[in-house]
């Protein structure tokens, strides 16, 4: 498909019912984004990453694979770090 023939649609050009739908979805996403933040006495902090937006034909599998990879990497690093502690402990006991 030639991208030059695709015209960008402006919000003002949409029918009123479509504008209302987009406004509703935008407000819902805005509320979900605000759930990522928490307030302390002195400031507002981001406690979790902002939600992601899945586009048409995009599946949650990509997100699940990325999360699984991160968990695997974290567990691997934990085992690696604990192995050094265990080796040092055994070495100290054998001395």
Decide if 52 contacts 33 (C-beta within 8 A).
no
Cα 16–Cα 18–Cα 24 angle in degrees, nearest 5 = 105
Q: Output the pTM of the full model.
A: 0.51
User: What pLDDT, in 10s, does the model give residues 45-85?
Assistant: 999 888 887 777 666 677 777 888 888 888 777 777 777 77
Q: Which residues, other chains included, contact 11 with Cβ-Cβ below 8 Å and sequence gap of 6+?
A: 19, 22
What gap in Å lies between CA 10 and CA 7, rounded to an integer?
Answer: 10
CA quadruple 55, 57, 61, 62: dihedral sign = negative
Mean pLDDT over each residue of the chain, to the nearest integer = 82
């Amino acid at each position: 498909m030639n991208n030059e023939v695709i015209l960008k649609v402006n919000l003002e050009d949409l029918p009123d019912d479509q504008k209302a739908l987009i406004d509703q979805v935008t407000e819902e996403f805005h509320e979900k984004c605000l759930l990522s933040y928490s307030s302390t006495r002195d400031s507002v902090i981001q406690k979790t990453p902002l939600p992601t937006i899945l586009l048409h034909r995009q599946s949650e599998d990509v997100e699940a694979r990325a999360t699984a990879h991160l968990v695997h990497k974290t567990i691997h690093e934990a085992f690696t770090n604990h192995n050094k502690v265990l080796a040092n402990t055994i070495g100290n006991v054998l001395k």
